[in-house]
Chains A and B, each alone.
Chain A
Amino acid sequence: MTTLIVIDQAPYGSWSGREALDMAFSLAAFDHPAAMLFTGPGVNWLRKGQQPDGVGQKSAEKNLSAAPLFGIEALIADEHACQQYGLSESAMLPGIELASNIQNVLSSHTHVVFAG
């Protein structure tokens, strides 16, 4: 049973995405399969070259690049949201799967957690 952690809010403006990321890494650390879906403004987490120093935060980019290493099964981006936010594949971190129908992604997981 893979748990899908969904991030649907932009990075850095609130803490909920960061805490959702901690949940995904924690599942992986306890050998529970986890995957992440980025949708809506949440796709901006996947942008290359983030510079969060300016707002006094740590970069999520490094965490996300290390996700496969820590055992997170997949990082999935909502293709439609990527188009909406002008995020091309070349501007995206490597190793991201694109999903054209997130309804399918959601329904293929029995356990779905939204960042609150």
Chain B
Amino acid sequence: MMVKKNGLLAAGAIAVAASLALAGCSAGSDSSGATSDADSSTLTVWVDADRAAVLKDAAAAFTKESGVKVKLVQKDFAKIQEEFIAQVPTGKGPDITIAAHDWLGNFVSNGVVQPVELGDTAADYQQVAVTAMSYEGKTYGVPYSIENIALLRNTALAPTAPATFDDMVAAGTAAGTEFPYLVQIGPEADPYHLYPFQTSFGAPVFGTNADGSYNPDDLTVGNAGGEAFATWLAAEGAAGRMSVNLTGDIAKEKFYAGASPFLLTGPWNVPDAQAAGIDVSVDAVPSAGGQPAQPFVGVQGFMVSAKTKNAIAANEFLVNYIGSEDVQTALYEVGGRPPALTAAFEAASSDPITAGFGAVGATAVPMPNIPQMGKVWQFWGVTEAAIISNQGDPVQLWQKMTADIAAAIQ
């Protein structure tokens, strides 16, 4: 009886203590007034698991030189965008976060990031990386890697790189495999992987301004090239070469099993292909419509919170440490994506796979980071899927999609 009462009392007290502590914490987080003094010489950085190990050294070097502690917080990359937008306004967010460049429009319209002044070091990065990290003329991040898709070729089945799409189909047919070429599509299609074909018909989603940024008022996707692309998609679907049943997993497995000489994919699938015993080579995406086939480039980098109390330390850390060749090379070695810093990229190009993806990336276009792009995806994929599975007149479906996007952007 006594024991019970004791236990009860303790449990009750713990519960109350916990609830009050919670109340205290949540109140403390409303604005960082009470805690900022203690934190002023600690930089909190959100990173994903792969990058965390590399940044440890850079952080230690920075702490040694400047006396500013760096706290690396590991996060699931896929959840960072959501959490950053939710936490920065409460004052609980980090000073710096790792980010993909196409989150930028969303970040800026939520007011959670602030511009980063690269100063004269801007010229040391690949142009496409800096353009991607810019929004409305201001640079918001320090880029560290560039990634894009290209054509993976099984050299045992196709010894030479195809110059055009027709060449690729001919080579694939001659190889006598199950599929002439493979590109992942899936039930809601995959506009990202189909984009190089679309640009080869001269139909980018948005037109660009003079400085290379996208112009949301200039929706170019529905032009004559877009209609030609839609017609072409329907023909590929009818010929059975493209199918909404070919999901990413299936396409990958078929390629590893030697069911096709070509797979349109990114560097993330190369290690598995090599592990499956395939001798791969990286080529440019062949043009289907006559114009250059430009895939999207995704740039990853680090951005600074709009509510950081450590703006100077954060800038110093990003520009002079993340932007150093050592760190960029180290980040490349764990991620396998070509570095954004030109010097580090040139060093990494001794690897033919990296050089291959890098060469395609040099001619590619940054994925639009304007928030309007978010409205495009939801119509784009399903329309392509409908066209590929011949659910209607391709040109009509395409124009319906263009009208829907235009209405959604308004």
A, B from the same assembly: no
**Residues of B at under 8 Å CB distance from A?**
none
**Residues of A at under 8 Å CB distance from B?**
none
